[in-house]
Structure 1
Amino acid sequence: MMKNKYIKCTIAIVAMMQIFVSCKKDFLELTPRGTALEDNFYKNETEVMQGVISVYDVMQWGTTGGYTMKMPLLSAASDDNWAGGSNASDQPNWVAYDNFNMDPRIGPQGGLWNKNFSGINRANLILSKIEGATTLSAPFKARVTAEAKFLRAYFYFDLVRWFGRVPLITAVLPTAELYTQKQSTPAQIYAQIEKDLREAYPNLPATISSAEKGRISQGAAKAQLGKVLLYQNDNTKLAEAITLFEDVNKVGNAYGFSLVPVYADIFNPANKFNSESILEIPHSNNAAWGDWGWINGGEGNVGTQFIGMDSYNGDTYSSGWGFCPVTLDLVNVMKTDPRFDATIIDGAALKAGGATYNARYQNTDYFIKKYAPLKAFRSASGVAEQNWPINEIEIRLADTYLMQAEALVKANQNPTRAKELLDAVRGRVGLASIPATLDNIYNERRLELATEGHRFFDLVRTGTAVTVLGPVGFRANKSELLPIPQTEIDITKGIITQNPGYN
């Protein structure tokens, strides 16, 4: 029974040196699929594009070193959701993050470290191949270089937020240097992220064709850079962030972004890459995957399976595994909000209508709706649990509206524009105008983006994590970061050192 399945792997920096050419994305299927020797590959634009796709592919991964799907895992770490599952031993890494009882060997850190460094290594490798290629057209070379730099920045942004000090690697490492990489400071990591994104966005297209949905646009890169600047809590970076967000958010922007009129439609799997979506990770059942030993080889979203109601029997939804039940705290703050019905499934109401499901660990009878398993989208090929074709929207326009409003208030700039942005988010769901204060903006972020994986890092960066999460185990100057995987410390013979509080 897959609810208790553990996927184990060795998580050393050496794992970063692997790259696969058999990776897939909706915007390009590889023909023929397979592998090729690296030295004989990347000789033309088709082969280089396959290498770029292999970097994109890592964004989909959710089962490296255990189940570490980004969106539900971060929701479980926040006050939006509990860990759930069959019991506290079902996924102990999730439970440890839920109650901030991680140690160097228990917690989600191994999979997250391995995933992101795998993506970085792939980006470094394809950048080296692009640089050495002599048959690429100038426009093609500029675009794929920009994509690889964006993706390297994307993976490092996750690493610096989760771990703080990590090795900064921007080239393919010789074997002799694999275990000698020291950690860089967060400031050094952020400087590289900013550099990559600033170099990337001028060479990315404003819009993405229907055949290439899932590739990065200039607007996505600008939004990501604005987010990176805002999240550093450095007021000297606010002016640039505001300019970037305004370019993305203004009416008639060059990227085609606009708020979806009906809130629930944002999360309809039939409405992929809608006008509100800025950065979206595609998933499909095209691979008809069925290998539990290497779920990352498929294209499906196993996170959807995780959050569904266990053994559910009723209308609309398909059965899941009962992870991430919604906290009563979130239910109580949202129960009078117009976004409640699009955000949270009321299990008790379903039971009253004749449905059944199993109450699992930390059950509250409330479940995530935004990315829930829907019968209409259950795969008829491969193993259905591995093949949910439900995308993850990582950045959307309402998020950038609220980030710009926050930056404007912090910078003491243009209060009229800040209020306009906040009011637009609220007005979409029929809520009245309110003052654009930081407290109101932060509260709006929780309600608007609930269960989408933003809340934990919002609490950390705004300095409210101890107040909100302290009662469930969060400790200042420790729980903001995950422990460094013990395997990395061991294999480097202590060159990589542990984060504070985990020794």
Structure 2
Amino acid sequence: MKTHISKYIAIILIIGIVFNCSDNEFIDADPVRLTVDEALQNASVAEEMVYATYNAMLLGAYTGIHWIYATTVPSDNAIAGVSGNNKNGNVIDGIEEINGSLGSLNPVWTSHYSAITRANYVLKFVPELDNVEDNLKELYIAEARFIRAMTYFRLLRVFGGVPLVDHILTPGDADDKIVANVRVSKEELYEFIIDELTEVAAKLPTREEWDEAQLGRATSGAALGYLAKVYMYVSSDQQYNGLGEVNGKGSLENWSLCHQATLDVEALGYDLDFTYDKYGVNGGGPNMLASVAWLVYAENNVESVFEIQGNQGFANNAAPVINYYNWASSERINLGVPSDEIVKLYEFSDRRLNATIVGKNNRAYFDLTGQGTAGTRLRYFDNRLAPNREPYDFFCPKSYVTSNKNINPNAFNGQRNNKNIRTLRYADILLIRAEAANELGQTADAEATLNKIRLRAFGDNSHDYPTTDDINNILPGTGGDQLKSAIWRERRLELAFEHDRWFDLARQGRREQVTNDYLESRGMDRAYQSPKNDVFPIPIIQILLSSELLEQNPGY
């Protein structure tokens, strides 16, 4: 799909309509502007509108630096890793002083609503096209609804309830002013997302039904996968955070629906990708290389449930950076640097170590953990050494893009690259299944599913549940549930720096305790306050633009 997605411009430019956003939030292009009537006479406009909706997910704040500030930097997996004059990173990293004026929040808000608006344009205009076959109309509409539902799920986890805009707004219309500026409850938003994903899962093609050039477009598996994840959040929020009924169902019923959705994904042929050993495994030696599981050529593999397709040179900050490090310049900041705490969790024999952590010097990992050998140097997959940037010892290679054109013909180009953003993997689906099965009392299923993840991580059954660590280190907040603790810990290891840890802690009802313990361990104030910090504040600029119809989250 990379060859297709970059050639289309936003629907705002195709039909000559201007949103209430600044021009620089969209692609810098010189389009031929058409009237709505002219555009609708073009048989290709429907697909172009859909591609424009996919393109919205490459806006910097949807996937890049501002998204990292809101999802990864605050967690105990990371430290901001930014230079001293970077206010966003320092404030979010320490939690205190967070308010609606924080610079990263409004870009996250506007980029996500840009994607929603583009999806709404598809839903408005595609049904009116006389020169598009009905089956294609149904497909394009399903794709737009999938992106919109996924985007609302992302907003919900960051801000809580937000305005639910499900159609193109009419300027000056009093009812639409309410729609645009009045927040719905989390329950209402969850219901909308669930209903949308349920319906489009039956309308979207499977992965195999797309031809190779269209890989990356929405599938039934992606809709079902996100449905499973949403159900997990609903069930957890009901169980730990006082969320009310959703579609008339409580926690246990939603765990059952969650579990079924994971089985539906499995039935479509997804599986774990075993590319960890292509360049060698952990075990020491000067040429030990990191996993290639995150290479460009390993994208859209059997484990990929949904990936936002990268596009080299698309837009500034469009790269799926986790450590925002520019190899072309020594002056760039490091964003989301792995904390000592997450590094120490990985056993040296865990193949995920090299896929998640690289060290800047020979002794960093050994000195911290006592594992391996002092001479071992953790490297990127192309044998490149990690940057020597004080005071940070570790970096995450999942977003690293090689400059070796023999490995990647579209090698790194400044801040821009064509690497995909992997938003949902089958490993996540398996861990969701394990958690749901445990909540439903299906212990054997939960253990067997958890062990699939561990088998890949260690290459054998030596770490099958329960290990000594599972028995002796039960996580707080689990009520002493040993298996639940093991599954939660495994999510942290498997999905590190994939923007899940911060949100997992919130849905599990333990973010306050974990975050404050982590802050205290770093000599910082125990500044996290629940429920205030369970969501970020609404950007103050959005409240002002709404004439204060848009309400702020409590406590901010």
**Structure 1 contact 334–340 (Cα < 8 Å) conserved:** yes
**Structure 2 contact 224–261 (Cα < 8 Å) conserved:** yes
Q: 1:44 to 1:97 in 2, by over 3 A?
A: same
1:97 corresponds in structure 2 to 92
Equivalent-residue separation in structure 2 for 1:21 and 1:501 (angstroms): 33
Gaps of 5+ in 1: 1-12, 25-31, 313-318
1:485 corresponds in structure 2 to 539
Matched, 1:334 2:355: no
2:217 corresponds in structure 1 to 215
Per-residue deviation, 1:415 = 1.9
Matched, 1:77 2:77: no
1:17-416 superposed matches below 5 A: 35-63=33-61, 68-71=65-68, 73-87=70-84, 89-90=85-86, 92-101=87-96, 102-177=98-173, 179-180=177-178, 181-207=181-207, 208-232=210-234, 233=236, 234-249=251-266, 253-254=267-268, 256-263=269-276, 264-285=291-312, 288=313, 295=316, 300-301=318-319, 303=321, 306-307=324-325, 321-336=333-348, 337-349=350-362, 357-360=387-390, 363-376=391-404, 384-412=413-441, 414-416=442-444
Q: Which whole-Å deviations, capped at 9, do the CAs of 1:303-330 have from their partners, x for residues lacking one?
A: 2671467956xxxxxx953222110011
Give the alignment's TM-score, normalised by structure 2: 0.76
**Structure 1 contact 214–282 (Cα < 8 Å) conserved:** yes
Q: 1:172 to 1:120 in 2, by over 3 A?
A: same
Q: Which whole-Å deviations, capped at 9, do the CAs of 1:175-217 have from their partners, x for residues lacking one?
A: 1146443111111111111111111111111123210011011
**Structure 1 contact 146–203 (Cα < 8 Å) conserved:** yes
**Is the partner of 2:337 in helix, strand or coil?**
coil
**Structure 2 contact 404–411 (Cα < 8 Å) conserved:** no
Identity rate, percent: 25
Q: Which amino acid aligns with 2:199?
A: E
1:402-441 superposed matches below 5 A: 402-412=431-441, 414-430=442-458, 431-435=462-466, 437-441=483-487
Q: Which whole-Å deviations, capped at 9, do the CAs of 1:429-483 have from their partners, x for residues lacking one?
A: 2252104811000000111111111111011111121111124332211111110
Per-residue deviation, 1:125 = 1.2
Q: 1:35 to 1:303 in 2, by over 3 A?
A: farther
1:9 corresponds in structure 2 to none
**Structure 1 contact 42–51 (Cα < 8 Å) conserved:** no
**Structure 1 contact 16–117 (Cα < 8 Å) conserved:** no
Equivalent-residue separation in structure 1 for 2:275 and 2:64 (angstroms): 32
2:245 corresponds in structure 1 to none
Q: 1:257 to 1:382 in 2, by over 3 A?
A: closer
Equivalent-residue separation in structure 2 for 1:349 and 1:476 (angstroms): 41
1:449-460 superposed matches below 5 A: 449-460=495-506
Q: State the structure with more CA Rg.
A: 2
Q: 1:394 to 1:356 in 2, by over 3 A?
A: closer
Equivalent-residue separation in structure 1 for 2:359 and 2:327 (angstroms): 11
1:15 corresponds in structure 2 to 20
Q: Which amino acid aligns with 1:372?
A: Y
Gaps of 5+ in 2: 1-17, 237-250, 277-290, 365-374, 378-383, 467-481, 520-526
RMSD: 3.1
**Is the partner of 1:175 in helix, strand or coil?**
coil
**Structure 1 contact 426–433 (Cα < 8 Å) conserved:** yes
**Structure 2 contact 160–186 (Cα < 8 Å) conserved:** yes
Q: Which amino acid aligns with 1:441?
A: I
**Is the partner of 2:362 in helix, strand or coil?**
helix
1:8 corresponds in structure 2 to none
**Structure 1 contact 21–50 (Cα < 8 Å) conserved:** no
**Is the partner of 1:77 in helix, strand or coil?**
coil
Equivalent-residue separation in structure 2 for 1:400 and 1:356 (angstroms): 31
2:282 corresponds in structure 1 to none
When the two structures are aligned, how many residues end up with a matched partner? Answer: 458
**Is the partner of 1:105 in helix, strand or coil?**
coil
Q: Which whole-Å deviations, capped at 9, do the CAs of 1:359-403 have from their partners, x for residues lacking one?
A: 25xx33100111123222699999922322221111101110000
Per-residue deviation, 1:262 = 3.0
**Is the partner of 2:60 in helix, strand or coil?**
coil
Equivalent-residue separation in structure 2 for 1:356 and 1:57 (angstroms): 31
Q: 1:355 to 1:157 in 2, by over 3 A?
A: closer
Per-residue deviation, 1:163 = 1.0
2:522 corresponds in structure 1 to none
